[in-house]
């Protein structure tokens, strides 16, 4: 599992478009897929893989039990940095495309025939190698613009999206889906606000989805409808935060035009001390299908078991409103910022960030003063007071003078 250096500015600084999405936690994934880094849906089950340094194998997951029911070894492959998986009618494609330092010259995609996959637990793969058309230097640079974790198929072309750690946004490249050595052609950039980690193109609604997370591990999706064509990418998508707390969201696939699954990796952090298990979520969207009945990616999904109503009276939970959960105020002339934190959630710590997203102070829970924090040493500017809770992160702006 990568140790990530996240430097993007707050999503709070950028308007986020709303949508009508419902996300449901399906459960915690087994330890054998704690680094789930990609998802597809095939033969009524999810297929995933772990990321860099793990075995060259695919793992099938039963959606009801979330248990691994089958392991398929790719005998002639190596998992250098597997980051995403996609499929068409004939093949499964695994992207060995992770390249955080920008120095790899062995990037490529493994192609497995579905008929082989369906009939055996040990298969061989074709190799689709590539290099970026516009990469000039291969000197190792931490958090480069040539890292990619998102792969899908649009218009019959393999399409991957780079994370652009330094420049920001995501750039799309297309690669032929045939074995051999190819040049990945740049087809455009979108200034996505965060790190893109997965992609899926929903043929039922002609909609591209990118999955990612912010510097605070706030997962989001970006929806692009009515793309100008399979050889063009850009513009501004509809970016929507997912209300699932925080986590390292890495895998995404669709089942029909309104049903998706999202997987998160196990995440460990020491400051603040946080451990999050790898989990699976079900996402319902409001996409408009194309004319005719919506096609499924594979077999139709069974209806999920009913979820008990946590609020039978139908009253909204006031703690879902950030205005109620976190209140900031300051007495005239005071050097202390006072706060009211209305939550029963466990608090791991607090931090102050500047407007460039740099953390300039951190206090563990044991070091926090009750209901106040000294801001006398801060220069006059806008800052963000941030609380790390077990299930979410709360952040609000304040001005220091």
The fold adopted by the segment(s) 11-284 is Tachylectin-2; Chain A (2.115.10)
* Nearest-angstrom CA–CA distance, 219 and 229: 27
pLDDT at 343: 84
Q: What is the 3-state secondary structure (H, E, C) of the chain?
A: CCCCCCCCCCHHHCCCCCCCCEEEEEEECCHHHCCEEEEEEECCEEEEEECCCCCCEEEEECCCCCCEEEEEEECCCCCCCEEEEEECCCEEEEEECCCCCCCCCCCEEEEEEHHHHHHCCEECCEEEEEEECCCCCCCCCCCCCCCEEEEEEECCEEEEEECCCCCCCEEEEEECCCCEEEEEEEEEEECCCCEEEEEEEECCCCEEEEEEECCCCCEEEEEEECCCCCCCCCCCCEEEECCCCCCEEEEEEEEECCEEEEEEECEEEECCEEEECCEEEEEECCCCCCCCCCCCCCCCCCCCCCCCCCCCCCCCCHHHCHHHHEEEECCCCCCEEEEEECCCCCEEEEEEEECCCCEEEEEEHHHCCCCEEECCCCCCEEEEEEEEECCCEEEEEEEEC
Calculate ∠ Cα 155-110-261, nearest 5°: 65
Domain boundaries, the chain: 11-284, 318-400
CATH number for the region 318-400 comes to 2.60.40.3080
Q: Which strands make up the sheet holding 45-50, listed edge to edge?
A: 36-42, 45-50, 57-61, 68-74, 122-123
57 contacts: CB under 8 Å, gap ≥ 6: 49, 71, 72, 73, 74
pLDDT at 305: 38
* Nearest-angstrom CA–CA distance, 119 and 392: 43
pLDDT at 20: 43
| Beta strands at 122-123 and 68-74: parallel, antiparallel or unpaired | parallel
What pTM was computed for the model? 0.70
Residues in the chain where the model's pLDDT stays below 70: 1-21, 226-231, 269-275, 289-323, 355-357
């Amino acid at each position: 599992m990568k140790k990530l250096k996240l430097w993007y500015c707050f999503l709070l600084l950028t308007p986020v478009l709303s949508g009508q999405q419902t996300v449901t936690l399906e459960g915690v994934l087994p330890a054998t897929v704690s680094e789930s880094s990609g998802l597809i849906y095939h033969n009524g089950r999810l297929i995933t893989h772990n990321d860099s340094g793990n075995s060259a194998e695919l793992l099938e997951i039963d959606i009801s039990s979330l248990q691994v029911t089958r392991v398929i070894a790719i005998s002639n492959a190596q998992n250098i940095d597997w980051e995403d998986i996609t499929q068409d009618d004939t093949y499964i494609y695994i992207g060995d495309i992770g390249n955080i330092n920008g120095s790899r010259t062995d990037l490529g995609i493994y192609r497995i025939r579905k008929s082989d996959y369906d009939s055996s637990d040990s298969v061989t793969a074709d190799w689709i190698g590539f290099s970026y058309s516009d990469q000039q230097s291969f000197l190792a640079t931490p958090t480069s613009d040539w890292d990619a974790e998102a792969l899908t198929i649009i218009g019959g072309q393999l399409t991957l999206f780079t994370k652009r750690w330094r420049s920001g946004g995501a750039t799309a490249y297309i690669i032929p889906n045939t074995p051999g050595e190819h040049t990945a052609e740049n087809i455009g950039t979108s200034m996505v606000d965060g790190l893109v980690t997965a992609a899926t193109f929903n043929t039922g609604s002609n909609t591209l989805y990118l999955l990612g997370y912010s510097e605070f591990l706030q997962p989001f999706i970006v929806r692009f409808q009515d793309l100008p064509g399979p050889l063009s990418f850009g513009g501004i998508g509809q970016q929507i935060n997912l209300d699932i707390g925080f986590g390292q969201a890495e895998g995404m696939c669709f089942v029909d035009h309104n049903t998706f699954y999202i997987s998160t990796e196990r995440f460990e952090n020491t400051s603040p001390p946080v451990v999050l298990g790898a989990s699976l979520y079900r996402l319902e969207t409001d996409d408009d299908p194309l004319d005719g009945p919506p096609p499924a990616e594979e077999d139709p999904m069974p209806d999920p078991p009913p979820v008990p109503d946590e609020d039978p009276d139908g009253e909204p939970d006031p703690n879902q409103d950030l205005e109620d959960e976190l209140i900031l105020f300051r007495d005239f002339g005071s050097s202390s910022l006072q706060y009211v934190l209305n939550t029963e959630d466990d608090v791991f710590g607090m931090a102050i960030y500047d407007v460039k997203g740099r953390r300039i102070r951190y206090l563990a829970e044991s070091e926090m003063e009750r209901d106040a924090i000294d801001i006398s040493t801060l220069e006059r500017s806008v800052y963000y007071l941030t609380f790390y809770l077990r299930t979410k992160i709360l952040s609000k702006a304040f001005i220091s003078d």
